[in-house]
Chain A
Amino acid sequence: MQEEQSGPPMDTDLDDRELESRLAKTWSTRPGFWGKIACVDHKVVARRYIFTAFVFLMLGGLLSLAMRLQLSQPEARFISPDRYNQIFTMHGTNMMFLFAVPVMEAMAAYLVPLMVGTRNIAFPRLNAFSYWIFLIGGLLLWLAFALDAAPDVGWFAYVPLSGPQYSPGKRTDLWAQMITFTELSALAVAVEVVVTVFKQRAPGMSLDRIPVLVWAMLVMSFLVILAMPAIMFGSSTLILDRLVGTQFYNPAEGGDALLWQHLFWFFGHPEVYIVFLPAVGMVSTILPAFVGRPLYGYMLLVMALITTGILSFGLWVHHMFTVGLPRLGESFFTASSMAIAVPAGIQIFCWLATLWAGKPVYKTPLLFILGFIFTFVMGGMTGVMVASVPFDTQVHDTYFVVAHFHYVLIGGAVFPLIAAIYYWFPKMTGRMMSERLGRWSFWLIFIGFHLTFFPMHILGLWGMPRRVYTYQPELPWASLNLFVSLSSLILASGFLIFFIDAIKSWRSGPPAGANPWNASTLEWATSSPPPPYNFRRIPVVSARDPFSPGNDELTVATGLRTDRREVLVTTIVEALPEARESSATDSVWPFWAAIATSIMLIWSIFSPWAVVWGSIPIAVALIGWFWPKGEAEDES
C-alpha cells in the first residue's frame, strides 16, 4: 500500500468523473494551429483522411462529368484531345490512389483501434506522417492538373507510351512520384493496422472473437504490404528510365514493355481487393444491426476473406490476356480468376442467410447494402465472363470493361462505404444523418448508377473503345452515349445530396447517443464522438459480441497510469495481457519529416542529386522524431 501511494498516479480507486478528467488531460491535443499540426489522435487523423479522400472523390466525380459532357454527342468540341487524355488519367489515378485506397485505410485507422478496444492506433506519429504525405501527394497531382501538366498516359501508365521517348516533359514523372507518395502513406497505415490488431486487442479478444471488419482490415493491410512494393518498384524504375536513362522498359537494349504490365498488375489486381475486402468487413458488421440477428457464418466469412486475399495474388495476368502470352499461362489465370468467385460467393450466401433469418429494418445503411449485393453480383458475373480469354479478347479495351469495373468498384466498394458512413457517422461526429435525405441519395445513386453504367456493357459489345475523346456520327453509339451522359447527372445528384446531408448533419444533426443502432461491437461502448482516450477503462472481452446492447455494464480492466499515455499490449492469439506500453505523444516532427520527404521526392523529378541532398533533412527530421524527450512515456 505504501509503495502504491508513492508510485505514479494510477486509474485504480478513482471515480469515473475524476478518471475521465485526468485521462482527458493526458490524452487531449493542445489547442491552436501547432497543436492541430502535432495531433496524433487516430480519430482526428482518420477524420482528416476521410474528409480529404471525399474531397478527391468529388473532384474525380467532376472529371467524370466533364468526360460525359464531351461524349454526349459525336464529334463534340468541349474538351481538347490532350485535355481529355489528362482528364481520364486523372480520373482513374485520383479515384484509385487518392480516394479508394486512402479512404478504406482511413476507415481502418478510425475504427480498428475502437473496435479492438485500445486507446490509440499503434505508431500514432507514423499515422500523422502518412496523412501529411498523402495530402501533399494529392495536392501535387491536382496542382499539376491545374497547370495543364497532369499525366496523360492512363491510370496504369503503360510503357512505351509513358517512357522517355513518347512522353517527354514532366507529366509522367509527376504521376510516378505521386505513386510514391500515396504508396508510402498506404504502407505506413498498413503497418499500424497490423500491429494494432496483433498487439493492442482488448484482453480476451482472441483470434476467434475479432470483429469481421477488423479481420477484413488486417487482410487488406497484408495485401497492401505485399502488393504495394511492386508498384513502387515499377514507378521507380519507370522514373529511372525517364530521368537517368536506365533501360528497363526499352526493348532495343534488352528491356521489356511487358515487364511494366507484370509489375503494375501484380500490384493492380490485389489493389481491387484492397478496396473490396474492407467493404466486405463493413457489410458484415452493419448487416446484423439492421436484421436483428447475429451474422451467419463468422468462420466462413473470415476464411473467405483470407482465401480471397491469397488468391488475389494469382490473378494479375488476366489483365494481360491480349498481349500474347503462352496458352498454358492464360489457362492458369482463367482458372484462378474463376476460382476467386468461390470465396466471393460464400460471402454473398452468408449475407443472404443473415438477411433471410432476420427481420430487416430498411434504413439507409441497409438500403446501400442491398444495393451493393445486387450491383456487385452483376459486376461479379461480368467478371467471370471476362475471365474467359476468347470473350476478353473481344471486349478488351472497350466500354464493356469500363462497365464491369465500375460495377465492382462502385457497387462493391463505394456502396458499402456510403453505408458505412451513414452507419458510423453518428460515432464520428456525435450526430445522426438524415434518414429522408439518405433515402433520396440512395435511390438517386442506385438508379443513376445502373442507368449510367449498364448501357456501357452494350456500348462495349457494339465496339466502342475506352479512352477515346470522341467518335464519328456514322457509328451507332450516339443515342446510347447521350442516355449515359444524362443518367450520370442523376448519379451525380445522388452524391450531391449525400454530401449535403453529411455537411448539414455534421453541423446540426440530431444528437446520436452512444449506441444509436443497438450494435454490439466495442466502438459503441463509448460515447459519440469518443473522448481522446477512447475508453475510460480498457474493455475485457469474453464473447464474440463484446457486450450486449441491452446490458448497461461493460467488463473492464484497471491498473493503467493516468499521467502518461498508456495502452495495453496483449498476446497475438489469445489476447492475454503482456505489458502496459506507452503510446506516443503529440509531435510536430512527423509533419516536418513529411515536408522534408516531399521536398526530396518532388526535387528528384528535376535532379537525381536530390536523393542525396534531400535525404539529409529527412534524416534530421527523423532523428528529431525519435530522440527521447524525457517524457513519462519514455519510462520503462
Chain B
Amino acid sequence: MKDLVVLDVSKLPLHGTGMASPTWWATCTFMLIEGMGFGLAIAVYFYLMSLAPQWPIGAPPPDLFAGACLTVLLVASIIPNILVSRWARRRELKKVKIGLLIMSFFGIVPLVFRIFEFPALNVSWDDNAYGSIVWTILGLHTTHILTDLVDTLVLTALMFSRHGDNTRRYGDVEDNCLYWNFVVIAWLPLYGCLYWVPRL
C-alpha cells in the first residue's frame, strides 16, 4: 500500500503534560480502581453495621487523638502538595526538590500517627466482624500512604539526580501529587466511618 502524506507532526512536543499525557490518564484509571476498592470497603462497613444489633460490636468507639492528628496532617499536606505540582508545571527544579523533601516528610509523619491509630481502635481484627472491617480499612489506607511515600522518595532521589531536569520527570511529579490528593481525599470518608459513625 502506498503512503499519501497529509499531515506533518514534527513540530509537536516530545512529551505532553496533564490530559495530553498517557501517564496522567493511567493514574486516573488506577485511582478509579482503588476508589472502587475504598467504596467497597465502606459498603461492607455499612452492610455489617446494618446486621449488627449494636455498633460498634463489643468495643467502645475508637479513641480520637491519633486519628485526628493524622487527618489534620493529611489535610494540611494538600497545600505543599498543590504547590509542588504548580512548581513542577513551571519546571522550577530547585523548588520542586525542596517541595518533594517536604512531601516526603508529610508522607512519613502520618505513618507515625497511624501506628497509634491501630491500638486506638480498641478492638482486634479477630475479635469480631467490626474489628475485621476497621482493621482492613485502616490497613488498606496505610498501604496507599506507604506506596505513595515510596513513590515520593524515589522521585525525590530522581530529581536530585542527573535525570531530574526533564519534562517527563516534572510530569511524574505532577502525577504523584495528583495521586497524593487522592490518598488524602479518600481518607476523609474512611475517617468519618472509622471514628464518627460509631458515635452516632
Contacts and interface: CB of A to CB of B under 8 A. Distances in A.
Given A245-B125, A254-B57, A569 B20 contact: yes
Interface string A541-557: 00000000000111111
Interface in B113-129: 125-129
Contacts of B15: 579, 581-582, 636
A232 interface: yes
B60 interface: no
- Specify the main secondary structure of chain A where it touches its partner: mixed
Interface in A219-244: 225-226, 228-230, 232-233, 237, 240-241, 244
Contacts of A200: 22
B41 interface: yes
A245 B37 contact: no
B6 A555 contact: yes
A627 interface: yes
B196 to A, nearest CB: 20
B25 A259 contact: no
A326 interface: no
A384 interface: no
Interface string A59-97: 000000000000000000000000000000000000000
A635 B6 contact: no
A246 B29 contact: no
Nearest to B8: A559
A194 B25 contact: yes
Nearest to B49: A254
Nearest to A256: B51
A540 interface: yes
B32 A225 contact: yes
Nearest to A632: B14
A108 to B, nearest CB: 15
B151 to A, nearest CB: 9
Given A248-B132, A253-B129, A263-B40, A558 B5 contact: yes
Contact of A556 (B5, B47, B158): B5
Nearest to B11: A559
Q: How large is the interface on B (under 10, 10 to 19, 20 to 34, 35 or more residues)?
A: 35 or more
Most chain A beta-carbon contacts within 10 A, residue among B5, B8, B131, B167: B5
B29 A194 contact: yes
B1 A259 contact: no
Nearest to B162: A630
Contact of B33 (A225, A571, A636): A225
Contacts of B127: 247, 253
B51 to A, nearest CB: 6
Contacts of B51: 254, 256
Contacts of A572: 19
Contacts of A538: 9
B135 A246 contact: yes
Contacts of B41: 233
A525 B3 CA distance: 10
Interface string B1-40: 1111111111111111001111001100110111011001
Contacts of A195: 22, 25-26, 29
A579 B18 CA distance: 12
B25 A199 contact: yes
B133 interface: yes
B167 A525 contact: no
A200 B16 CA distance: 12
Nearest to B125: A246
Nearest to B7: A557
Interface string B115-155: 00000000001111111110110000000000000100010
A540 B7 contact: yes
Interface in A169-212: 187, 190-191, 194-195, 198-200, 203
A203 B7 CA distance: 9
B153 to A, nearest CB: 10
B8 A558 contact: yes
B48 to A, nearest CB: 6
A468 interface: no
B44 interface: yes
Q: How large is the interface on A (under 10, 10 to 19, 20 to 34, 35 or more residues)?
A: 35 or more
B52 interface: yes
B136 A554 contact: no
Contact of A580 (B9, B132, B135, B168): B9
A392 B92 CA distance: 65
A200 B4 CA distance: 20
Most chain A beta-carbon contacts within 10 A, residue among B9, B51, B136: B9
A246 B126 contact: yes
A574 interface: no
A230 B36 CA distance: 8
B166 A233 contact: no
B5 A557 contact: yes
A230 B41 CA distance: 9
B1 A240 contact: no
Interface in B89-133: 125-133
Contact of B29 (A191, A552, A557, A581): A191
Contacts of B11: 559
B54 to A, nearest CB: 10
Given A195-B22, A245-B126, A580-B13, A525 B1 contact: yes
Nearest to A570: B20
Given A195-B26, A554-B4, A634-B166, A255 B13 contact: no
A131 B20 CA distance: 27
A558 B7 contact: yes
Contact of B44 (A16, A233, A569, A571): A233
A123 B132 contact: no
Contacts of A240: 125, 132, 136
Interface string B32-76: 111011001100100110011000010000000000000000000
Contacts of A427: none
A557 B1 contact: no
Interface in A468-519: 514
B130 to A, nearest CB: 6
B13 A16 contact: no
16 contacts: A187-B33, A190-B29, A195-B29, A225-B32, A229-B33, A233-B37, A248-B129, A253-B129, A256-B129, A263-B44, A540-B6, A540-B7, A556-B6, A581-B15, A627-B154, A636-B15
Given A230-B40, A248-B129, 9 more contacts: A187-B33, A191-B33, A233-B41, A240-B132, A246-B131, A259-B47, A537-B5, A579-B13, A580-B12
